[in-house]
Amino acid sequence: MSIEINKIRNIGISAHIDSGKTTLTERILFYTQRIHAIHDVKGKDGVGATMDSMELEKERGITIASAATFCEWNKHEINIIDTPGHVDFTIEVERSLRVLDGAILVLCSVGGVQSQSITVDQQMKRYKVPCIAFINKCDRSGANPERVVEQLRDKLGHNAIAMQIPIGLEADHKGVVDLASMRAIYFDGENGEVLRYEDVPAELLELAQEKRDELIEQASNYCDELAEAFLEEQEISAAMILKALRKGVLTRSVTPVYMGSAYKNKGVQPLLDGAVQLLPNPSEVTNTALDLDNNEEQIELGSSNSDPTVALAFKLEDGQYGQLTYIRVYQGTLAKGDTLINTRSGKKIKIGRLVRMHASQMEDIDKIPAGYIGALFGIDCASGDTFTDPKLNYSMTSMFVPNPVISLAIIPKDNKAQINMSKALNRFSKEDPTFRTFVDEETNETIIEGMGELHLEVYVERMRREYNAEVTTGQPRVAYRETITKRAEFNYTHKKQTGGSGQYGRVAGYIEPYSEGEFEFINKVTGGAIPTQYISSCEKGFKAGLEKGALMEFPVTGIRVEINDGAAHAVDSSEMAFQAAARGAFQEAYKKAKPVIHEPIMKVVVETPTEFQGTVMGTINQRRGTILGAQDEGPMCVVESQVPLAEMFGYSTVLRSSTQGKAQFTMEFSNYRQVPQSITEELQKKKAEEGKKGAA
Give CA torsion, residues 678, 682, 687, 690, to 10 deg: 170
Residues with Cβ within 8 Å of 4's Cβ and at least 6 positions away in sequence, in order, are none
CA distances for 412 relative to 379, 421, 449, angstroms? 30, 7, 17
CATH 3.30.230.10 in the chain is located at 486-593
Q: Where in the chain is the domain with CATH 2.40.30.10?
A: 288-395
HSE (CB half, 13 Å, CA atoms) of 286? Answer: 7
The confidence score (pLDDT) of residue 306 equals 83
Q: How confident is the model at residue 634 (pLDDT cuts 50, 70, 90)?
A: low
Question: Using one digit for the tens of pLDDT, what is the confidence trace for 17-37?
Answer: 566 767 888 888 888 887 777
Of 671, 691, 681, whose CA–CA distance to 481 is shortest?
671
Mean pLDDT is lowest, of 428-437, 480-489, 602-611, for 428-437
- The top-scoring range by mean pLDDT among 253-262, 282-291, 407-416 is 253-262
E strand or H helix at 674, and its extent?
strand 664-674
288-395, superfamily in CATH? Translation factors (2.40.30.10)
Domain 599-678 matching CATH 3.40.1190.20: the answer reads: no
Q: Do the beta carbons of residue 237 and residue 245 sit within 8 Å?
A: no
pLDDT (0 to 100) of residue 473: 87
Angstrom distances, CA of residue 537 to CA of 101, 521, 580, 583: 56, 12, 9, 10
| Tens digits of residue pLDDT in 330-388 | 988 888 888 898 888 888 888 888 888 765 567 888 888 888 888 888 788 877 788 99
Give the model's pLDDT for residue 693: 61
90-128 pLDDT, tens per residue?
555 566 677 888 999 888 888 787 656 776 787 788 778
Residue-level pLDDT at 209: 92
Q: How far apart are the first and last CA of the chain?
A: 69
Cα separation of 524 and 225, whole Å? 79
- Answer whether 212's CB lies under 8 Å from 238's CB: no
The pLDDT assigned to 461 comes to 87
Q: What pLDDT is stored for residue 548 in this prediction?
A: 86
Model pLDDT, residue 169:
87
Taking the C-alpha atoms of residue 368 and residue 536, their distance in angstroms, rounded to an integer, is: 53
CATH topology of domain 5-284: Rossmann fold (3.40.50)
For 406-478, CATH gives: 3.30.70.870
Looking at residue 55, its pLDDT comes to 53
How sure is the predictor about 510, in pLDDT bands with cuts at 50, 70 and 90? Answer: very high
Q: How many CB atoms lie within 10 A of CB 366?
A: 10
**What digits encode the pLDDT tens for the residues 36-52?**
777 655 444 434 444 44
In this model, does residue 12 exceed pLDDT 70? yes
531: Cα within 13 Å, side-chain hemisphere: 14
Query: Could you tell me what percent of the chain has a pLDDT over 90?
Result: 27
Every domain of the chain with CATH number 3.30.70.240 lies at 599-678
Q: What is residue 397's predicted lDDT score, i.e. its pLDDT?
A: 67
Q: In the predicted model, what is the mean pLDDT of residues 532-552?
A: 90
Residues of the chain with CATH 3.30.70.870: 406-478
Q: What pTM does this model have?
A: 0.66
Cα–Cα distances (Å) from 577 to 336, 492, 530, 539, in that order, read 59, 12, 12, 13
pLDDT of residue 198: 92
Report the interhelical angle of 613-621 vs 651-658 (nearest 10°). 150
Measured CA to CA in angstroms, residue 355 lies from 365, 460, 490, 668 at distances of: 5, 31, 65, 36
> What percentage of the chain's residues is helix, strand, coil (to nearest 5)?
30, 30, 35
pLDDT band at 474 (very low <50, low <70, confident <90, very high): confident
Which residues on neighbouring strands pair with residue 374, listed in sequence order? 327
pLDDT for 683 equals 82
The residue-averaged pLDDT of 605-616 equals 89
CB atoms within 10 A of CB 653: 9
| pLDDT tier at 62, thresholds 50, 70, 90 | very low
Average pLDDT, the chain: 83
- Ordered strands of the 288-291 beta sheet: 297-300, 288-291, 394-395
Q: What amino acid is encoded at 293 in this protein?
A: D
DSSP secondary structure, 230-276, as one string: HHTT----HHHHHHHHHHHHHTTS-EEEEE-BTTTTBSHHHHHHHHH
pLDDT in tens, 637-647: 889 899 998 88
pLDDT at residue number 46: 39
CA 119 to chain CA mean position, Å: 13
Q: What is the mean pLDDT of residues 411-419?
A: 90
The segment(s) of the chain belonging to CATH 3.40.50.300 are 5-284
DSSP assignment letter at 223: -
Higher pLDDT, 1 or 204: 204
> Could you tell me which residues come within 8 angstroms of residue 618 by beta carbon, excluding any fewer than 6 positions away?
none
Please check whether residue 118 is in contact with residue 91, taking contact to mean a CB–CB distance below 8 angstroms. no
Lowest average pLDDT, out of 85-94, 248-257, 347-356, goes to 85-94
DSSP string, 314-369: EEEEEETTEEEEEEEEEESEEETT-EEEETTT--EEE---EEEEETTEEEEESEEE
CATH number among 3.30.230.10, 3.40.50.150, 2.40.50.140, 3.40.50.1820, domain 486-593: 3.30.230.10
* pLDDT above 70 for 61: no
